[in-house]
Chain A
Amino acid sequence: MKYLHLVWRGLLRRKLRTLFTALSIFIAFLLFGALMALRVAFGMGVDLAGQDRLVMIQKVSFIQPLPLSYMNRIAATPGVSGVTHSSWFGGIYQDPKNFFAQFAVDPESWLAMYPEYVLPDAQKQAWFADRTGAVVGRALADRFGWKVGDRVPLRGTIWRTADDAPWTFTIDGIYEAGTKGTDTTQFFFHYAYFNETRTFGKDLTGWYVVRVADPRQSEDVAARLDALFANSSSETKTSTEKAFVQAFAKQIGDIGSILMAILAAVLFTILLVAANTMAQAVRERTNELAIMKTLGFGDGQLLGLVLMESVMLAVIGGGAGLLVAWLITQQGDPTGGLLPAFFLPTRDLVLGVGLIVALGIAAGLLPAWQAGRLRIVDALRRQG
């Protein structure tokens, strides 16, 4: 570490060039961070899916409902430790552009199924007791400035009230994210109120969520449940939440993998730029390096010095880029509700740091090796 000062002076030798190189590395890692967050977002939060939860939908199409009467039969199936259900509402708040997801659920079993929706106990109890009550996620509440006690009208697009008046809900609670990436842009309200008010489709629900007692048995339980309703008028398809989310994410298609290819291209380009700059910096200093050798610096030491300079440049530029990317993704979803799981996982941050160091070493290796092999006499004789 006693050469740190020397390395630093090396970087300051051509301030402008160092600055621009650092800036391009900065951009590369800013992009890296943004793309990793996008990857999570396009994956629809597959990593967040519960290990012990199954999703049961109608076999032919997820827009087809399932009978509410399935609830008890599911609960009685061996291996099942909990069940709840949910229905898509699809209402409009003020303007169709204000899209957010709304679901009619059975409050108690729903919150028991999803411990990641964290709600103060008082708000929970208030919601359970209030038939026209709703709970909303923190991000959604912030978006529209809603507070507990506010009344929110939603115009139904699919589900209408008898006189076609708007549905009105009282906000009884605001839930926070229990784990990183939990979707806090949703709106939940009582199925009972929904079911008695809507004009058709009574006693049907959108899908079931089932908790299995032992996650290792989830495949078996899923098969057992589907067998239970086989050859009925509403056959079912049950899969783990993870598989369900994955299948949904796959529907977005190749766009995610194209983004990944772009990322690779970007990093490669930046690597070229950085490597070239480092090589130039060393070539320019041939004389200096020769003098240092004359003064008694060993080959290994010179190699180390040049490598350190390169890594330092990468760490300064890349570190700042990664930091800024992290700060930006802390703000959450930039699209206002379309990509709810938008964050930079710790795993990718670690990967980023690894890439920075790798970039520094790769960019510095060739010039460092050249510097280490310099023959003093040749180097001193050479001009520029």
Chain B
Amino acid sequence: MSAPLTFDDPRVKRVTREMKLYDRRPDALIQILHIVQEIFGYLPEMVLRLVAKELRVPASRVYGVSTFYHYFSLKARGDHQCLVCMGTACYVKGAGKILDQLQKAFGVRPGEVTPDGKLGLAQARCLGACGLAPAVVYDEEILARVDPAKIAATVQEKLRGS
């Protein structure tokens, strides 16, 4: 595990700076959480407490907002992220099977990370790329018209290559 976060951490300082840009307005909470997640890859508890204090909103509200929206995660993401689109177009073209295959191959469920922290599996509501269905996003790369039988091998290969 990595060392606990401190206020001296440059990433924490960056969050503080961003909050100043928003004049520490309570209504900027969601925008700030986006920035935190972009910097850390998830929402660390220590930073959430800091955000609550700076924006002068109760910690319960910060927690409530963080857990309400699907885009935010309170758990650290894996080094690599595999996002399976579960939109309707992808679903009718076999996205469910793709998810099954990945779950079986890596032993993780959507929203979880492999024990070695290498791969996180997640599902998206819809990527809006329905012409490419079924679609999977590996890190930033969109894999279009994925074959359920081959996806596990493809991801394995990408993990080995990185």
Bound pair: A and B? no
